[in-house]
Each structure stands twice: as structure tokens, then as C-alpha cells.
Amino acid sequence: MARLIKDHVITSIDIGTTKICVLIGKKIGDQIEIIGIGKAPSHGLQKGVVVDVAKTINAISHAVKEAEMMAGYTVETACIGISGGHISATNSSGVIAIKHGHVRRSDVANVLESAQAISIPVGQQILHVLPQYFIINGHDRVQDPIGMHAVRLEVYAHIIMGSVSSVQNLVHCCQSAGITVSDIILEQLASAAAILSIDELDLGVGVLDIGGGTSDLAIYKGSAVCHTMVLPVAGNHVTNDIAIGFRIMKTEAEKIKKSYGMTLASMIGEDKLIEVEMMQGNDLQVIALSDLARIIEFRMKELFTLVNENIVKHNLKHFMTNGLVLTGGGSLVEGAQELARTIFDCPVRIGKPRVLFDLLETLQSPLYATGYGLLMYTVQNEKKIKMGMKDEPLARRVLERMKLWVVDFF
């Protein structure tokens, strides 16, 4: 194996409620070649939040070692994804006067900082400040104002906040596993980077990442984030419903969901019976696939309805010109696409990572959208960050503060 250059290798850790996924990638221009993959069951999180530090550290360590063995590379730093019910978001605006006649990078940093002058809930801190668009002199709307002549610069931005303690716990678990966190990225932003095309981002699209503990929504228009939401209802709720409905173990419920689950009972042609292990001992019981489908359909319909109500409430449906893209493990249940199309009344497709250099075909799955997207998001923003920090002390302070606030207490 050729010697790997440290600056050319990046690592992502998708710390999910059901699994920890580590991907090691080698940068080839603006693309990524996956050279290492590691996975481990996640038993230390609930709804995206760490509830057992020791179990989370062990799972991260196991997944990292597996990826390192495959890549022949020792991981020191990694970007991580974040989700959970503690995530909140709001739209804000800021305005500054331009003193030099044209917009500099320091002006962009200043106007973004002015947009952060909002009321932040106790125990939360800003995680992302995502500019939607800039306005020059009160009337010209632009995406990149740098170099333009102006006397006044406004920005409209989407601001994402997270719980200080929840983020610190994730960082602490990574540090205890020997990994320094280089960046923290909202998971639906990462998933979007992996599965959405440039045209979809520009014309308008929604992405719904259905994980184990949370379902994460992001809506894009004009290549900018218009809206995000984290809903604490996801795949594990379907599994729990099956376990309760048939009085079986969760492991058995998860197995039959993956093997026989359907999101629409109407999709079943000839009803079939299957045997499942009961909660007590090795006794078996017989259940009908139609009953299984009805349980799954009820919960998935609730999930999609809650998301759709949020979209309607914020009057965002007209932004979704290209419809909705489903991804994550929950999108793999047969019939999810058809049910979503009915409830959202728009085109729906299943989103898979657009992996150009792929060691394993299994990466072409919604399960890896977040992990691969974390790498893509990092590469896509690397140039912007470097440009924004070059010879700009103020921009450096703003960007570093956004990334490093989570480790201030260690």
C-alpha cells in the first residue's frame, strides 16, 4: 500500500442511535476514495443523545479500530455528525455598513456575526450559521458578495443551535476513544451533501433522513438551507411498536422488520404467516404479514404526517420543486417511498450516496448517507474556510469560535 499523506486523509464518525459508522477517505481533488470502513452497534445513545458514556466510547473505539485496520492508517482527528431532540433552529438577519467601498471577507464575517445577535435558550449554543443570501444596498440579492461595491450589506441566515451538554458528551466520548473532534456537523446537512445534486439544491428540495432515534429534515432552495427540523420519532419507534404488538424481543422485532416489513398493508398480495420467537424462552408464535404491515404503516404514517405538518406550518411546500428525498435506514422499509408520496403529495425518491470511488458496493446505501456526507461536507467547505481565514484575523476568530465552543470546558 502506498504511504498515505496525512493532509490527504479525512475521517468521519456517524454516531447514531443504532450504529456507529466510521469512514476513512482519501481526498482526490474534490472527490473522496473510501479506504476504510468500521461499524459497531450503538447501545449508549437514545434519540441521538448520549445516555451511557462507557458504552458509547467502547462502540466508537471498536468502529475506529476496524476502519484503521482496513485502511492501514491511524486516525487522530475526525468530523462527527450531531442530531437529537435538543437541536433547534431559527432564521435571522444582520446588517452592517461597508466602509471600504467594496465588500471584503472581514465584512462577511462581521455581518454573519451580527446575525447571531439573537436570544439563545439557556444551555444552548450556536452550532452552524448558514447564510441563505446577502443583500447589497437594500435591493440586490446575491449569493457571494465579496468584491462587490456596496455601502450596506445584509445577510439572511439559518442559525442552528444545540445543547452544550449534549455536544460536550459526544466530544468527550470521542476524545476518550483517542479521537480529536475537528468539526461538528448537523446530520441532515451531511446527508444532503452525499445524496443531493447541484440542480436539486438550487431549484429546491427536501431531504428526510430517517435514522434509528431521530428523523432529520432539511429543505434547500437556491443552494441554501431554508429550514431544518429534528423529530424524535424514527426507526426504533417502529421496532418498539412491533415488539409490543407481538410481545416479542426487540432484537426479534428488528429482524422481522428488516426481513418482512412493509410500510403499506395494501402492498401485500397473498397474506403469509411467519414464525417468531416469543418473549418467554424459545416458544414460537405465528403472526400474519398483514398485521406486521399495519403496525409499521401506522407509525410511519404518523412520522410522515408530523413532518408534513411542520412543512405546511412554515409554508415551505412551494420550495420543494424537486420533491422530497428519503434516506437513512428507515427509508429502506419497503413501501416507504409510496407512503411518503401520498402524504407529502410530491415526488419522492430514495437517496443513496453518490460514491465515485467505492471499495464496497454496500456504500451505495442510504445507511451510509450521513457518514459519507460528513466527508463530502468537509471537502466542500474546506476551500471556503481556508479562503475565509486567509489574512483575516476576524474571520478566523468567528470560525474558530463556532467550531471550538464545545471543548471550552475540557
**Domain coordinates in residue numbering, the chain:** 88-161, 235-294
- 333-382 pLDDT, tens digit per residue, is 999 999 999 999 999 999 988 776 655 556 778 889 999 999 999 988 77
In angstroms, the Cα distances linking 398 to 37, 111, 114, 330, 404 are: 33, 11, 11, 37, 10
At residue 358, the pLDDT reads 53
Taking the domain 235-294, which CATH number applies?
A: 3.90.640.10
Q: Any alpha helices (H) in 186-335, and if so which ranges?
A: 187-195, 198-203, 235-246, 250-260, 289-313
Residue 137 CA to residue 135 CA, distance in Å, equals 7
Q: What is the 3-state secondary structure (H, E, C) of 87-136?
A: CEEEEEEEEEECCCCECCHHHHHHHHHHHCCCCCCCCEEEEEEEEEEEEE
At residue 154, the pLDDT reads 95
At residue 64, the pLDDT reads 97
Residue 246 CA to residue 271 CA, distance in Å, equals 17
Q: Any alpha helices (H) in 248-360, and if so which ranges?
A: 250-260, 289-313, 336-344
Q: Which residues of the chain have pLDDT under 50?
A: 1-2, 387-410
| 148 φ, ψ (degrees, to nearest 5) | -80, 145
Helix axes 235-246 and 289-313, enclosed angle (nearest 10):
140
Taking the domain 88-161, which CATH number applies?
A: 3.30.1490.110
Residue 251 CA to residue 52 CA, distance in Å, equals 20
Closest CA to 263 of 236, 305, 304, 298: 298
- 21-42 pLDDT, tens digit per residue, is 999 999 887 788 899 999 999 8
Closest CA to 13 of 368, 255, 359, 408: 368
Stated pTM of the model: 0.86
In angstroms, the Cα distances linking 402 to 50, 126, 397 are: 22, 7, 9
At residue 356, the pLDDT reads 67
At residue 197, the pLDDT reads 92
At residue 407, the pLDDT reads 40
C-alpha cell at 349: 425518491
Residue 71 Cα to chain centre, angstroms: 24
At residue 151, the pLDDT reads 93
At residue 275, the pLDDT reads 87
Q: What angle do CA 49, 214, 300 make, to 5 degrees?
A: 150
* Residue 321 exposed, middle or buried by CB count within 10 Å (0-12, 13-18, 19+): middle
